Structure 1
Amino acid sequence: MLAYITAVAIVFCIYALLTLSLNLHFGFTGLINFGHVGFFAIGAYAAALCSLNGMPYVVGFTAAAALAALAAWPLGLLALRLREDYLAIVTLAFSEIVRVVITAEEWLTNGVQGLPGIPRPFASLGIGGNAELAYLALVVTAVVLAILLIRHLVRSPFGRLIQAIRDDEVAVKALGKNPAGVKVRVFMIGAAIAGIAGALYAHYMNYIVPDQFLPLVTFYVWMAMILGGAGSISGSLVGAGVLIGILEGSRVVRDLLPNVMQVEMASLRLALVGLLLVLFVLYRPNGLMVKRDES
């Protein structure tokens, strides 16, 4: 039981990182990003390839954050020129391009066969509770650092500027401020956090394939952010917790209903998530943590 709870907690922390980074993009800055899973995938493969080639974990995590941020740079530039709906389409296309490239470049990523045998930190502690708890401590530390970083950003003059851009970009320009560089930096910072989440995911799973980075992951992260509340750091954590509760709860129900096929349960899970989304939009449009300016 402890092993299961630890595993769920680790997955929750990874989704919390993804939700926090997406909230920085949309909740605090108003940048619509439907391709968040692309940064997640870049981070996962960067860290995995570094570790499989004998590099230290620190190098892998640094590469994950740096490459994800670098990939976000041109998207940040596009955000300066595109309306919200077009930016959403471009970011969605970006995530699919990342997945197609990962699948096609077999010489580097092993294509659809994936990358097995990714080493996990603290493996020397042995298989079992100690290693899992140590890894949980690592992902919790990553979440805490991400929270502190985002809290510092949103409470600084930079944070007040990005929230002003979210609320009324025209007024910001009228005051003589230039939103261009700010949007690019926000895109890169959020992508770097998502890249770290990908690195943690790759090392925890020990095996990654392109099909683990479908647009469905982005949908789940958006769902978590909406449930918790856009523009709320605590909302990101609450939303990720509710999402993981739904996903894991449906697996428990599946065990209690042996006659229900796995495909049917997956469809039921998506229907439940969609129903919750509709209900929250109708009755709690600001999410569970309704204080939008909370940080």
Structure 2
Amino acid sequence: MVGYLVYLTISAATYGIFCLGLNLQWGFTGLINFGHVAFMTVGAYATVLLSSQGVPLLLSLAIGAGCAALLGLLIGLSTLRLREDYLAIVTIGVSELVRLVALNEEWLTRGAFGVQGYPLPLGGFRPNQVGKIALIFWLTIIAIFAVWQLWRGLRWRWKKLKKQEKSGLGVVVWGILGGGIITSLFINGCIALQNYNYKAGLMLLSVIALTLVYAGLEYLVQSPWGRVLKAIREDEEIPRALGKNVFWYKLQAFMLGGAIAGGAGSFYAWQLTNVYPANFDPLVTFNAWTIVVLGGAGTNPGTLIGALIFFAYDSLTRFVLPQLNLVDDARLGALRVMVIGLILMVLMVWRPQGILGNKDELTLGK
């Protein structure tokens, strides 16, 4: 059970990083990217191929993120001056192009055989008891930060509801649920680190990376730069009239979101331990959009909540649906995707701004 929860934590953290990049592009800037997986693919392959040649892992990760940002630059220079639908179409094509290059250019990516046997972070690390306590200490710091962020968000929501003279029952429920999730993940993480293996180390690294990316984006989107992005999302003519270079801001957001997705690709490759082109099909982008829409576009905490809910759903349906005998095993995967689509349709009717989205702020041009 502990091992499976470690797997879920790594997956949720990796997708959380990946979706924070998409949320920066779409949720805060209004850029429609239906090929977000292309950035993850570039980051993953660049990291594992470079590290296989002896490049240090941290430098490989940075170069992978840089290559993903370069891809964002190339796409952005050719499309961001056009309408949003052109960007959506181009990103779909680019994601398939990148996947086909990974599949067919065997001299570089080893094709369908994939890249295997590459160095892994903390792969040979064997901590003693003092080292395990140090790892648990860092996990504790992250848990405290998560509780602080939860408390700050709930306090803001409570004050807003009281001003509107509405019930704060939902805030209490979310506080109990969020606190329970953080506590359970923290306890499971401590147990995993005490019985250390490679996956436990990767769990800690992925959670640390998620914390750094989240904190950095929270700072950026609340800065003057982030307010310009929000203005562009709502009506780009207004910041343009105020003398802002709208194209340059769009390009910055698109490249930064791509770099974040490229970094997520590195952790995705380290989790898989073997990288194949089939790992980067369009369903990965669909999952990212599901997470962002579910949690609430234009809110970083909502993206993390969406990632947790998505993987909780993934775990439940992976074990519960086969017991119901609704369909055979060959159609089970399609049924799970259909159920996700149904949940999204219900959510769009019940709460179109997502779980934590701010309907008053997030209009996306409407």
What corresponds to 2:32 in structure 1? 32
The one-letter code matched in structure 1 to 2:41 is A
- Contact 1:165–1:172 at 8 Å: present in 2 too? yes
What corresponds to 1:261 in structure 2? 328
Question: Counterparts in 2 of 1:217-232, with a 5 A limit?
Answer: 217-232=284-299
Gaps of 5+ in 2: 127-191
What is the Cα deviation at residue 19 of structure 1?
1.0
What corresponds to 2:309 in structure 1? 242
Q: Which moved more, 1:227-236 or 1:249-258?
A: 249-258
Residue 124 of structure 2: SS of its match in structure 1? helix
- Contact 1:44–1:202 at 8 Å: present in 2 too? yes
For residues 192-237 of structure 1, what are the alpha-carbon distances to aligned partners after superposition, in whole Å with 9 as ceiling and x for unaligned? 1100100011112110111111111101100100000000010100
What corresponds to 2:45 in structure 1? 45
What is the Cα deviation at residue 255 of structure 1?
5.2
Q: Distance in 1 between matches of 2:255 and 2:235?
A: 22
1:58 and 2:125 matched: no
Q: Distance in 1 between matches of 2:271 and 2:196?
A: 14
What is the Cα deviation at residue 122 of structure 1?
1.4
What corresponds to 2:247 in structure 1? 180
What is the Cα deviation at residue 278 of structure 1?
0.3
For residues 50-99 of structure 1, what are the alpha-carbon distances to aligned partners after superposition, in whole Å with 9 as ceiling and x for unaligned? 12112211121011111000110022223432211121111111100100
Aligned identity (percent) is 42
- Contact 1:35–1:92 at 8 Å: present in 2 too? yes
What corresponds to 2:18 in structure 1? 18
What corresponds to 1:208 in structure 2? 275
Q: Which moved more, 1:119-128 or 1:50-59?
A: 119-128
**2:352 corresponds to which of 282, 285, 291:** 285
1:96 and 2:163 matched: no
Residue 55 of structure 2: SS of its match in structure 1? coil
What is the Cα deviation at residue 130 of structure 1?
3.3
The one-letter code matched in structure 2 to 1:84 is E
Residue 116 of structure 2: SS of its match in structure 1? coil
What corresponds to 1:110 in structure 2? 110
Gaps of 5+ in 1: none
What is the Cα deviation at residue 254 of structure 1?
4.7
What is the Cα deviation at residue 261 of structure 1?
3.3
Q: Of the two, which has the highest radius of gyration?
A: 2
What corresponds to 2:85 in structure 1? 85
Q: Which moved more, 1:62-71 or 1:284-293?
A: 284-293
What is the Cα deviation at residue 256 of structure 1?
3.1
Q: Distance in 2 between matches of 1:117 and 1:250?
A: 32
- Contact 1:65–1:191 at 8 Å: present in 2 too? yes
The count of residues paired between Structure 1 and Structure 2 equals 294
Q: Distance in 2 between matches of 1:162 and 1:258?
A: 48
TM-score scaled by length of structure 2? 0.77
What corresponds to 1:193 in structure 2? 260
The one-letter code matched in structure 1 to 2:220 is L
Q: Which moved more, 1:115-124 or 1:250-259?
A: 250-259
What corresponds to 2:136 in structure 1? none
Q: Which moved more, 1:10-19 or 1:129-138?
A: 129-138
RMSD across aligned C-alpha pairs, in angstroms? 1.8
What corresponds to 2:203 in structure 1? 136
- Contact 2:80–2:87 at 8 Å: present in 1 too? no
For residues 116-165 of structure 1, what are the alpha-carbon distances to aligned partners after superposition, in whole Å with 9 as ceiling and x for unaligned? 12332112246974322221110001101111111111111111111100
Residue 275 of structure 2: SS of its match in structure 1? coil
For residues 222-276 of structure 1, what are the alpha-carbon distances to aligned partners after superposition, in whole Å with 9 as ceiling and x for unaligned? 0100000000010100111111112222211255357953321101100110001
Residue 124 of structure 1: SS of its match in structure 2? coil
Q: Distance in 1 between matches of 2:355 and 2:78?
A: 32
What corresponds to 2:180 in structure 1? none
Q: Distance in 2 between matches of 1:152 and 1:33?
A: 23
**1:154 corresponds to which of 203, 208, 221:** 221
Q: Distance in 2 between matches of 1:109 and 1:241?
A: 32
1:168 and 2:197 matched: no
